Structure 1
């Protein structure tokens, strides 16, 4: 089980800002997705994978439809976040 620390929050938020699935301007992305960090950690703690939660965030609260470009990018960024969380579990 992973506990969300300030450092981990910042790391995950940085990945989400880079993911930026709705294309908010640079400088805004760092704030745009913060509310989803805890959702991803909860998803990891339940299923050891954040990708389903990232898809949920995109399709439900944000209201967008999944497309191939989104799926490719999300797979890449979900892997990065999964690796961060897995490393936290090991410590």
Structure 2
């Protein structure tokens, strides 16, 4: 993976900031997730599933597809990542 691609995806995750960490540490907080996301390829559903897995299994956050804000937020982030791959 190129450094440029890594930085683009990490910047998307940093702006999204699902853990709501302070901005000055957000880019470090999410960088470990980039490789797993990129490994899903340019497949919207796989990227979305990986993001959902990260949210629930690794971050310990609650996510429910039937809550419009959750679903729309995840779809928007997935779309941003999909577009840079």
Question: Would you call these one fold, judging by a TM-score over 0.5?
Answer: yes
- Hey, what's the Cα distance between the residues in 1 that align with 2:70 and 2:33? 17
Alpha-carbon distance, 1:71 to partner: 2.3
Q: How many residues align?
A: 80
Q: Give TM-score, length-normalised by structure 1.
A: 0.81
CA contact (8 A) 1:17 1:30 kept: yes
Gaps of 5+ in 1: 86-91
Residue number in structure 1 paired with 2:61? 64
- Runs of 4+ that moved beyond 4 A: none
Residue number in structure 1 paired with 2:31? 34
Residue number in structure 2 paired with 1:89? none
Cα RMSD of the aligned pairs, angstroms, is 1.3
Gaps of 5+ in 2: none
Please tell me whether residue 16 in structure 1 is matched to residue 47 in structure 2. no
Q: Give TM-score, length-normalised by structure 2.
A: 0.86
Residue number in structure 1 paired with 2:41? 44
- Hey, what's the Cα distance between the residues in 1 that align with 2:31 and 2:9? 9
Residue number in structure 2 paired with 1:25? 22
